[in-house]
Amino acid sequence: MFHNGRRFTVLFIIGAVILVTGLIVQWYPNSIVDGMKERLKQSDVTVDERNQLQGALASWSVWQITLFHPLSSLLFAVGIIILVYSVIQGIFSIVSSYRVVRKEEK
């Protein structure tokens, strides 16, 4: 396809994997916190279970804010930067190979 296609593919895959990892890091704690909140809303929860759930929910909320949100934001940013870089590099590679072919034709 173009001169440096393998490098483009590798960078694009790395960027996509990092982006998906950031999505998972964002989604996982959200689903756990939402599950705990739903469990607390149920009427069949005993007082001991409610206290344990509230403690776990408070802990997960702190972890979510202090660790998971910044980490997922960082992974999103790095993934997008790598994807954009790979696309720009691919475009420049195509343009440079086109110029080489065009010079050889003259």
Give me the pLDDT at residue 1, please.
Answer: 44
User: 62, 4, 3: which is closest to 29 by C-alpha?
Assistant: 62
> Does residue 72 carry a pLDDT above 50?
yes
Over residues 8-64, the pLDDT tens digits come to 889 999 999 999 999 999 999 999 999 999 999 988 988 899 999 999 999 999 999
Burial 66-80 (b: 16+ CB within 10 A, else e): eebeeebeebbebbe
Q: Is the pLDDT of residue 86 over 70?
A: yes
pLDDT band at 4 (very low <50, low <70, confident <90, very high): low
In three-state form (DSSP H/G/I as H, E/B as E, the rest C), the secondary structure along 38-101 is HHHHCCCCCHHHHHHHHHHHHHHHHHHHHHHHHHHHHHHHHHHHHHHHHHHHHHHHHHHHHHHH
Vertex 57: Cα angle to 55 and 63 (nearest 5): 105
Of the ranges 45-49, 51-55, 85-89, 100-104, which one carries the lowest mean pLDDT score? Answer: 100-104
Axis-axis angle for helices 5-41, 69-105 (nearest 10): 160
> Could you state, in order of their start, the residue ranges of all structural domains in the chain?
5-105
105 pLDDT tier (thresholds 50, 70, 90): low
